[in-house]
Structure 1
């Protein structure tokens, strides 16, 4: 296996060395592609030192050397990657020694286009733990049982009951399959949830298989300045960002002729339920009243599948 590890770097000077060295422990890792996205800290200097120290580390920036966000940054890294397989690693996370154990066996079968596993959590400080323990706990982010590839896409849509989640840090993909079947790669206009939207489309077009689900193969590093924890802790309204995510998924699904109509309707209802959650109070309750009579399943999608009750008042 020749694996290219894709690592966007932003505001991660304290963590990127650990991330890179956790990837370099594997002989299968052919290269680590760092794309520094105009960090406000000294991450660029740290990345330069890593590229000088390790032959397998390759450092890039955007041509204008400006900040473009995670989506365009991952896309640039994918353009530069030359390995047969792609793995992703955020600059404040890290791989565990079992990261590619399942992949080494599963990818012997040419029909396996991707493998996903379980993500653990590590708090870099007591303050981070105090702030975010209620959000992450000590739990694995994982899919709860082993699914056939055809069930991964509807599972993520909450059409199969309790499915669980997998993280992009725990995903390995055949590069050729991804390039041929997924266009565009990461959506460049999404500032948040680019990876979630990417995983939805990827699981529809590619056959993704379960790897190690009962223990972590990578670790999410939680710290005070982590962008996604700021969103999930409601410093940014998560309902608003989810509306944008589900609108993106809805628009894609409506234009994809191979998606069954019942699946398109489910996606429409998921999008609608977030719109209801975000609407101003008077409009919100008007929409709820309307859909209770005309499309009750839109309300049910919100209350039972998305749990948007926190945003009803």
Structure 2
């Protein structure tokens, strides 16, 4: 196996060395591709030092040296990859010694186009653990049982009961299969672009389960994770989910091979998030309205009859 590991780098000077070295422990890793996305910290210099230290580490940036987000940054890595297989790793995460154990066996079968596994969690500080333990705990992010490839897409859509999830950190793809479907990350999505990518990939490719009961990679949790802030509702999750499901719905509408019942399911999920977001915006809009127009009522208690009627 010749694996290209793609690591998008943004604001990760503290963590990227660990990520790189966790990938280099495997002789199957042909190259580690760092794509630096105009970090505000010293990450670019750390990446340059890593290329000098390790011959298998390659460094790229966007043509304009600008910041383009995780999706566009991973796309650069896909374009530059020279290995026969592609794996992904976030710069603040890391691989465990069993990362490609199942892959080495499964990819001997030419019909296997991708393999996914489980990831664990590591808290980089006590503060991060205190903030986010209620979100992640010590649980695995995994698919709960072995499934055939045709069950993965409906499983991720929650159409097959309790399926579970897998992370892009635990996904390995046959490069020829990825090229066949011309599948890249959506660059206009600022969040959840990896989940949207996994949805489409699971529809087009035959993805097989690897190690599901043990972590093969670790999600690093710290105070500055953007996606962690979404999961913890520090960033409004309703609005980000609306954008995500709007994108999935748009893709499904234009993909003629998707069955009508699946398209209808996706449309219903999209509508449910849109309604939830509208309710959220209405509720907080009413709070702002009362703060400016009926402040005395709020001072007298949130149980003012007019306020309650408008808000709920």
Question: What TM-score comes out, normalization by structure 1 length?
Answer: 0.89
CA distance in 1, matches of 2:101, 2:195: 24
CA distance in 2, matches of 1:103, 1:273: 38
1:136 paired residue number: 136
CA drift of 1:101 comes to 0.3
Task: Return 127-136 or 274-283, whichever deviates more.
Answer: 274-283
1:243 paired residue number: 242
1:126 paired residue number: 126
CA drift of 1:232 comes to 1.4
1:102 paired residue number: 102
Instruction: Find out whether 1:173 has 2:180 as its counterpart.
Output: no
Contact 1:182–1:201 under 8 Å retained in 2:
no
CA distance in 2, matches of 1:117, 1:225: 25
With over 3 angstroms needed to count, the CA separation of the structure-2 counterparts of 1:41 and 1:282, relative to structure 1, is: closer
SS of corresponding position for 2:45: helix
2:76 paired residue number: 76
Instruction: Find out whether 1:159 has 2:159 as its counterpart.
Output: yes
C-alpha RMSD of the superposition: 1.3
CA distance in 2, matches of 1:152, 1:71: 22
1:220 paired residue number: 219
Unaligned runs of 5+ in 1: 285-311
CA drift of 1:280 comes to 3.6
CA distance in 2, matches of 1:235, 1:42: 26
Contact 1:103–1:211 under 8 Å retained in 2:
yes
Contact 1:128–1:224 under 8 Å retained in 2:
yes
1:234 paired residue number: 233
Q: Deviations over 1:121-167 (max 9, x none)?
A: 00000000000000000000000000000000000000000000000
Number of residue equivalences? 285
SS of corresponding position for 2:39: coil
CA distance in 1, matches of 2:234, 2:68: 21
1:296 paired residue number: none
CA drift of 1:180 comes to 1.2
Unaligned runs of 5+ in 2: 284-310
2:263 paired residue number: 264
1:207 paired residue number: 206
SS of corresponding position for 1:6: strand
1:277 paired residue number: 276
Contact 1:116–1:171 under 8 Å retained in 2:
yes
CA distance in 2, matches of 1:174, 1:102: 14
Question: What TM-score comes out, normalization by structure 2 length?
Answer: 0.90
SS of corresponding position for 2:176: helix
Instruction: Find out whether 1:115 has 2:121 as its counterpart.
Output: no
CA distance in 2, matches of 1:229, 1:274: 20
Contact 1:182–1:205 under 8 Å retained in 2:
no
CA distance in 1, matches of 2:268, 2:91: 35
SS of corresponding position for 1:279: helix
CA drift of 1:182 comes to 3.5
